[in-house]
Amino acid sequence: MDMEGAGALFVAVVGVLGTLLSALLTQRAADRSRRREQERAERARALAREAEERRAGYVALNTASRQYLAALTDLVHTLLRAEDAPAVRQRLTEARDVHRDVYAEAQMRLPDTVLDLAGEITHALGTVYGRLRRLDDGDPRPGDSLDAARAEIDALWERMRVLRRGMRSDLGVADQPAPDTGQLLDPAATRASSGR
């Protein structure tokens, strides 16, 4: 075989190998791109799942807290009317139990900023509950009164609004930043900032 024939054969072999390698490299690049896109889509789905779980936790906590506070309010009204209302007491017990369970789950899932707010409210709800139970049982402590309980309940409704704004802010649906936890500790400051 002469030099010219060998050169032509070499060029043909290199051309075929180049064509095959370019197809292989193109396929590998496409596979890598497809994998990256699948990973991105999975991360987006995981973030969406996490956001939905957080939203569901917020809804459950908000609902349970409001129902507990409403049941406490109902008991105050019952005591003011000096009625014996076992259904009101039963509803309060159920609302308290539901709130306890929802708050326990929230402690494992919610970010600290919102959990701090929820913890303050949970503690305050328990304080009002204890006061009302003592009044209902006829065994009040010094300072226990229906007026004191009503004032605490009024402050708690405002504190619930602060918590709700914090949850909405965390979810990205609020126009204002999350509230300072100091507002929860001082109900007078909360009332002053809301114009009440």
Q: What is the mean pLDDT of residues 35-48?
A: 91
Model pTM? 0.72
**pLDDT > 90? residue 180:** no
Identify the band that residue 26 occupies on the pLDDT scale cut at 50, 70 and 90: confident
What whole-number percentage of the chain has pLDDT above 70? Answer: 88
DSSP state of 175: S
Q: Structural domain boundaries of the chain? A: 53-193
23 to 13, 14, 15, 17, 27: CA distances (angstroms):
16, 14, 12, 10, 6
**pLDDT > 50? residue 193:** no
- pLDDT tens-place string over residues 50-64: 989 999 999 999 999
Helix, strand, coil % (nearest 5) of the chain? 85, 0, 15
Q: What is the mean pLDDT of residues 61-88?
A: 94
Identify the band that residue 25 occupies on the pLDDT scale cut at 50, 70 and 90: confident
- pLDDT tens-place string over residues 90-139: 999 999 999 999 999 999 989 999 999 999 999 999 999 999 999 999 99
Domain made up of 53-193: CATH architecture = Up-down Bundle (1.20)
In this prediction, residue 184 carries a pLDDT of 52
Contacts of 148 (CB under 8 A, 6+ apart): 131
- What is the DSSP secondary-structure string of 78-140? HHHTT---HHHHHHHHHHHHHHHHHHHHHHHHS-HHHHHHHHHHHHHHHHHHHHHHHHHHT-P
Residue with tokens 């043909």: 12
